[in-house]
Amino acid sequence: EMSEMSERSKQNVAHGLAWSFYVGYLKIVLPRMKKSMEEFSRANPNLPACRKTWKLHILVPLSCDIYDDLEKADSKIQYVTDLTETTLARAGIKKRVYKHSLYAITDEENQLWHCAVEYATPLQTLYAMSQDECAAFSREERLEQAKLFYRTLEEILRGSKECADTYRLIAYEEPEEAETHFLSREIVWHLRQEHHEEIAVLEQSPLPSPSTALDSSELNLQISVSDLPQPLRTDGF
């Protein structure tokens, strides 16, 4: 009975997608990110190297609207190359390939920022479910599930030692009125934060945050505890 209640409330959807994304993908590729970025930096010494940005930047749009081509999402995001592939035998698939794309992002001052960036692909599932009558998944439920996916994934990764300092979650709500370069600005803001963190470490003194920056509580997207999946038992186990 409790399982059926959980199924009807769909609380298990985003939770399961977040764990699947971590176990089936991020836990495999993230520990190898630093090495891939180091190899790229050595092969391209002319490009500025900011080690704090040597991580996978994962886009989490709460609308679940994902572009297969980032260059079409924002013309200031341009594909550069693919990083070194990781090839593994996985679930019966011989030589399964995992790889990431490196992009050059132009800011408002025409400065280039290089980073590995991609969408959180499970959001495509949430979007497809909201479009499929069989799933009976409303737009409002999709938004709540997207928030829950972000919050769950954030907690999973925070507790993962092997993935520490190898990722950056970029969760955002798109403006109601379309902005041509909203996505590139959002990514550049995070890259600047990472760059400031590196400078602060080198100087051994913290740098003040920009007045326009969102703090960590705002990046939590006002997700309350009630949005999280609740345990089926109430006796503390």
- Which residues are bridge partners to 102 per DSSP? 81, 116
User: Which structure tokens are listed for 12?
Assistant: 């298990």
What's the Cα-to-Cα distance from 203 to each of 52, 168, 198, rounded to whole Å?
14, 23, 9
User: Which structure tokens are listed for 126?
Assistant: 């949430």
Asked if 195 and 50 touch (Cβ cutoff 8 Å), the reply is: yes
- Spatial distance between the Cα atoms of 170 and 187, rounded to a whole number of angstroms: 7
**What kind of architecture, by CATH, is found in domain 14-204?**
3-Layer(aba) Sandwich (3.40)
| pTM to 2 decimal places | 0.79
Asked if 183 and 41 touch (Cβ cutoff 8 Å), the reply is: no
How does pLDDT run across 138-163, given as a tens digit for each residue? 888 889 999 999 999 999 999 999 99
User: Which structure tokens are listed for 228?
Assistant: 């999280």
How does pLDDT run across 8-64, given as a tens digit for each residue? 555 578 999 999 999 999 999 999 998 998 888 888 877 766 778 899 999 999 999
Identity of the highest mean pLDDT range in 5-14, 53-62, 129-138, 225-234: 53-62
